Amino acid sequence: METCSRTNEIHRLIFLRYPHCPKTLTPGTHIERDLGGDSLSYLELVMDIKNAFDISLPDKEAGSVQTVGELVELVQKHAPGK
């Protein structure tokens, strides 16, 4: 899957998980502060992403993510066919 397609899919999953988030996401969008998320909703988002991309994301790396851009980079790093 291309980088742009992965990014679009991650954005789609964010919009599903955070229905009240801003309609425009940037790499600097902060997951908790800007999207109104908490640790549980973020954990659910990570599970959504793991299922959508059929990948494994190390808990330590996923736990350190704060922005949409960092999340996209993490998926890129662990997705097959980078």
Q: Of 38, 48, 54, 59, which is the active-site residue?
A: 38
Instruction: Tell me how far apart the alpha carbons of residues 10 and 52 are, in angstroms, rounded to a whole number.
Output: 9
Question: Is residue 34 annotated as part of the catalytic site, yes or no?
Answer: no
Ramachandran bin of 36, using left for φ above 0, alpha for ψ from -120 to 50, beta for the remaining angles: left
Residues with a known catalytic role:
38
